[in-house]
Amino acid sequence: MPGFEKFGDAERQSVSEVLDNGVLMRYGFGPMRNGHWKAREMEQALAARMQVPHAHLVSSGTAALTVALASAGVGAADEVILPTFTFVASFEAVLALGAVPVLCDIDDTLTLCPGAVEAAIGPRTRAIMPVHMCGSMANLDALKALVEQYGLVLVEDACQAIGGTYRGKPLGSLGDVGCFSFDYVKTITCGEGGGIITHSQAIYEKAQAYSDHGHDHIGQDRGAEGHPHLGYNYRISELHAAVGLAQLRRLDDFLGIQESHYTQFRNALEGISGLEFRRVPEGGVENYSFLNVFLPDATKARKAHAALAEAGIDGVFYWYDNNWHYHRKWDHLKELKSLGALPEAAREGIQSRKHMSFEQSDHWMSRTLSILVKLSWEAGEVAARARTLREVLSRVLA
């Protein structure tokens, strides 16, 4: 990742077809289109690739989460369990619906810990939202068992893990609804965009209407369409979908490149004393966008992070000190710094938990380095980076 590193003739041709017909909106204007419906084509391709009957495109990964949660029945005062390690969009989507984000510990998968999830379930819990961070997944068997036991909804945030699988099934396809991000730095990109997939006809029908002001999209006259329920505007444009359609057709090639580079890095780091690798749940296959490693403690992790940067190795992330991806820097959430008044249930739910400690999460995140895997590297560059990674980490851990 990211897919923009491989922009080429396919993306240019797809965008040109939209510009040539002049229809940038995904709905309507049928006679002008010359047969080009890029969002519709990408939805069909995404559904086929993800082995589900329904896919729907929206304007961003954040929009995908918001629409998915709403379409799955999450609303005001409901609680949604999500991990301490994610992007801020996860809790933003929950708050956008007036619901309450309930942060929960992660384990050595760097995703939700099933035991911590069960302890966090309460009378207002409506959904569990595992976030498949940095290309790998949560223990979905355990989380699905909890969903069934407590009558909840499972919303998969696969925004960073498109192409990964669990027990042979694509990530995003195992829950009630799954979400992808196609923003500029994802494995495949629309520039800005997101996707929702589901096996549920009911969730799909709600999602495609909710994301377009409530339009039911029945018939050929947009102005005469019905509005079965309230909706908002989370539409994707044809230009963005055109880029994404071309990129989606190249996904398997991108995954192959990532796996090759990832494997070289992993092989180079095998056997270094004091270095451990992130655990991938049994039956899981990563999308190989990041290689995630654990150092013995936070001091060594910070030292290694600085040493790798000094050695010219960019794209290594120490999330523990990151402003956007780990709970330690989310004061704007915990202190309720909102431009508008939040619903009382959300305020109470957040305030009652803002002093919670997440020692288990800190144990793993303070020791974690995530090594980005790029698509554009040539073979010699990958080999040189692998050698430098081994040399620097061996020296730090000596």
Residues assigned a catalytic role: 186
Residue 46 pLDDT exceeds 90: yes
pLDDT digits (tens, 9 = 90+) for 204-254: 999 999 999 999 999 999 999 999 999 999 999 999 999 999 999 999 999
Q: Where are the beta strands (DSSP E) in 125-283?
A: 125-128, 153-157, 165-166, 169-170, 177-181, 194-198, 276-277
| CA-based radius of gyration for the chain | 21
Percentage of the chain beyond pLDDT 90 is 99
CA 69 – CA 82 distance, rounded (Å): 12
Mean pLDDT for the chain overall: 97
Would you state the pLDDT for residue 336? 95
* 309: amino acid identity, one letter: A
pLDDT average, residue stretch 12-34: 96
* Strand 125-128 with 100-104, pairing: unpaired
Contact 164/285 with Cβ under 8 angstroms?
yes
Sheet holding 316-317, edge to edge: 276-277, 290-294, 368-372, 316-317
Token look-up 């403690």 returns 297
What is the CATH class of 3-250?
A: alpha beta
pLDDT in tens, 98-124: 999 999 999 999 999 999 999 999 999
For the entire predicted model, the pTM comes to: 0.97
Residue with tokens 């549920």: 200
- Single out the residue of 148, 191, 195 nearest to residue 171, CA to CA: 195
Between CA 66 and CA 70, with CA 67 as vertex, the angle to 5 degrees is 85
pLDDT of 1 reads 86
What end-to-end distance do the CA atoms of the chain give, in Å? Answer: 31
Q: Phi then psi for 347, rounded to 5 degrees?
A: -60, -45
Give the tens place of pLDDT for each residue, 307-342: 999 999 999 999 999 999 999 999 999 999 999 999
User: What's the CA gap between 361 and 104, in Å, rounded?
Assistant: 9
Tokens of 398: 């000596």
Residue 63's closest CA among 229, 226, 237?
237
pLDDT single digits (tens) 238-251? 999 999 999 999 99
Q: How far is CA 72 from the centre of its chain?
A: 18
pLDDT for 278-301, tens place per residue?
999 999 999 999 999 999 999 999
Phi, psi of 299, rounded to the nearest 5 degrees: -60, -45
- Rounded to an integer, the average pLDDT of 377-382 is 97
DSSP code, position 321: G
Where do the domains of the chain lie?
3-250, 252-397
Q: Report how far residue 201's alpha carbon sits from residue 216's, in angstroms, rounded to the nearest whole number.
A: 13
Give 252-397's CATH code, choosing from 3.40.50.1820, 3.90.1150.10, 3.90.79.10, 3.40.50.970: 3.90.1150.10
In this prediction, residue 182 carries a pLDDT of: 98
Return d(Cα 56, Cα 40) in angstroms, integer.
8
